[in-house]
Structure 1
Amino acid sequence: MTEQVMAAIDGSQFSTGVCDYAAWASQALGAPLTFLHVVDNHPQTAEADLSGHIGLGSREHLLEELAQLDEHRAKVAQEQGRLMLKAAKERAIEGGVSEPATRQRNGTLVETLDELQSEIRLLVLGKRGETAHQASEHLGSNLERVVRTLHRPILMVPETFTQPQRVMLAFDGSKTTRKGVEMLARSPLFDGIPLHVVIVGAETGDNRAQLEWALATLREAGHEAEGAIRTGEVEETLRAYKEEHAIDLLVMGAYGHSRIRHLLVGSTTTAMLRRASVPVLLLR
């Protein structure tokens, strides 16, 4: 099976951005594009619990009605998903993708992506899912669980597509970010796009050597690359550099050196993801 760009779409306002960034990535990578919609058929436990308050005679009838309602909901959700997949496919074709595929699965998003992991070259997800309007600061439990579970690059995108013109890699010399530099050097995703490598830390010999290695690796692969070492609080410093240089895509390792990196993702990564107004490519 050829590794592909996989785009997970749902009914949220992020689906248009997911579709457009996935089409861009598919063409830049020369990789097939598949749109995925997952129907979560978990039973409505709260409604089932209500049956305990009904008289014994009508309990069986009520449970039967609830089961029929769940079945109806599942059919409606599947049909909505089919329509979303059809619209996404048409949009991608208009955007220049020759033969995008669509897949609909039952289950949970995280379990489905875990099963399909070997087929994924790049996963494209919206910053938040269908409940985005309810909690603008909350990343969405799905995204956090996907980042923990998947060992594939994940492109988390905003609502509206902007053609990337300048890319920043947050670099700390860790194994993950060094692998990230080597991956970016090999990948056609950012061909012709200037790359900025930024280390947040002290101006030490080690940091300078790490930065020079990263820049040399990217330049030898034909990329235009520049770098900087900045002191300060990580998230604020990266955000300031992003604004100064009009960065429109951020690349980060999904795990940093944080003591709590075993919880969710690294604390800096989570903070950056919550506030990011640009796409973030998470490397594993």
Structure 2
Amino acid sequence: MSYKSVLVHVGPEPPSAASLAAAEQLARQFDATLIGVAAEALEPPATGFEDGLLLQTLREQVEADLATAGQRFQDAVAESGLQTKWLAIPSAPDRVMALHARGADIIVASRPADGFGSSLLPSIASLVLDTATPVLVTPSHDHRELKAQRIIVGWKDTRETRRAVTDALPFLLAADQVIVAAICREGRSDEATGLEEIVGRLERHGVRAEGKLVPRRQRTVADDLEEVAHEHAADLLVLGAYGHSRLREWVLGGVTQGLIDRFSRYLLFSH
């Protein structure tokens, strides 16, 4: 099993530089086609009425931004030898990525950045919950290479986590060590249900996996997972993602959002 198509949104440079670099690395590692997408929505004037000249200026700005993103993508892949595809679409990034995820095995995304709204960047919540495609989230302030030699799987016996394990198999098969960690509160061994079975399944695939019961010690499960990742020097955490729709927007669950906000390593989410 392998990833044969990698999708990345190429937006404003500061937040998307890490995701573009990681996507290129991933495409090289798995000999995959790299699909770059630039999407930017035309935001209407806040005045409530349309001004023809202003709208034309805004359209030209969107076109210029998309062209700049396209040049950045071409510069990044020029000497890579990769098979690539480029799309530039003047529409909301969330909608565009949800549509074109159908042609991808995995999406690479940057963490949210201050000052860049939904007209410029897709939300991680939308990518994770609305695409049916695994999403690799890059560290926010560190463009480190993803080695994925030591991986933590945050285990909970749910549909989302089972899906995440399957979606992560290309990474897990290539890893030197995979720890399947179940965070358990005192007296709640039921929270580790299925741990032995999932480890056995991974071993039958040839994954070097071991199960680990981790007592709940920190304030949140996200903090406990961060501690386990630090203990094992892991640079990738695999997790099932949870969320719901609220006021027509996707909202992530507490552990998922907490990891995005604070976790300093790569994250792979599936829903």
Normalised-by-shorter TM-score class: 0.7 to 0.9
What's the secondary structure of 1:229's corresponding residue?
Answer: strand
What's the secondary structure of 1:13's corresponding residue?
Answer: helix
Gaps (5+ residues) in structure 2? none
What's the secondary structure of 1:127's corresponding residue?
Answer: coil
**Farther off after superposition, 20-29 or 167-176:** 20-29
Could you tell me which residue of structure 2 aligns to residue 248 of structure 1? 235
Q: Aligned AA for 2:64? A: V
The structural deviation recorded for 1:34 is 1.0
The structural deviation recorded for 1:169 is 0.8
Q: Aligned AA for 1:231? A: P
Could you tell me which residue of structure 2 aligns to residue 118 of structure 1? 102
CA contact under 8 A between 2:179 and 2:211: conserved in structure 1? yes
Q: Aligned AA for 2:40? A: V
CA contact under 8 A between 2:163 and 2:240: conserved in structure 1? no
CA contact under 8 A between 2:104 and 2:133: conserved in structure 1? yes
Could you tell me which residue of structure 1 aligns to residue 17 of structure 2? 16
CA distance in 1, matches of 2:52, 2:164: 53
The structural deviation recorded for 1:190 is 4.5
Matched, 1:107 2:88: no
CA contact under 8 A between 2:5 and 2:32: conserved in structure 1? yes
What is the total number of aligned residue pairs between the two structures? 254
The structural deviation recorded for 1:205 is 5.9
**Farther off after superposition, 76-85 or 163-172:** 76-85
**Farther off after superposition, 155-164 or 272-281:** 155-164
The structure where strand makes up a greater share of residues is 2
Could you tell me which residue of structure 2 aligns to residue 266 of structure 1? 253
CA distance in 2, matches of 1:193, 1:16: 28
| Superposition TM-score, scaled by structure 2 size | 0.82
Matched, 1:191 2:178: no
**Farther off after superposition, 80-89 or 162-171:** 80-89
CA distance in 1, matches of 2:62, 2:192: 56
Alpha-carbon spacing, 1:108–1:262, altered in 2? closer, same or farther (3 Å):
closer
Greater CA radius of gyration, 1 or 2?
1
CA distance in 1, matches of 2:200, 2:27: 27
Matched, 1:238 2:229: no
Could you tell me which residue of structure 2 aligns to residue 161 of structure 1? 144
Could you tell me which residue of structure 2 aligns to residue 143 of structure 1? 124
Alpha-carbon spacing, 1:41–1:211, altered in 2? closer, same or farther (3 Å):
same
Could you tell me which residue of structure 2 aligns to residue 4 of structure 1? 5
CA distance in 1, matches of 2:84, 2:172: 18
CA contact under 8 A between 2:8 and 2:35: conserved in structure 1? yes
Q: Aligned AA for 2:25? A: W
The structural deviation recorded for 1:189 is 6.3
Alpha-carbon spacing, 1:104–1:173, altered in 2? closer, same or farther (3 Å):
same
CA distance in 1, matches of 2:172, 2:85: 20
The structural deviation recorded for 1:48 is 5.8
CA contact under 8 A between 2:62 and 2:90: conserved in structure 1? no
CA distance in 2, matches of 1:107, 1:194: 42
* Identical-residue share of aligned pairs (%): 19
The structural deviation recorded for 1:75 is 3.1
Gaps (5+ residues) in structure 1? 52-62
* Deviation sequence 1:194-243 (CA, Å, 0-9, x none): 21111011476645552111211111111111221112141221111111
Alpha-carbon spacing, 1:41–1:223, altered in 2? closer, same or farther (3 Å):
same
Could you tell me which residue of structure 2 aligns to residue 60 of structure 1? none
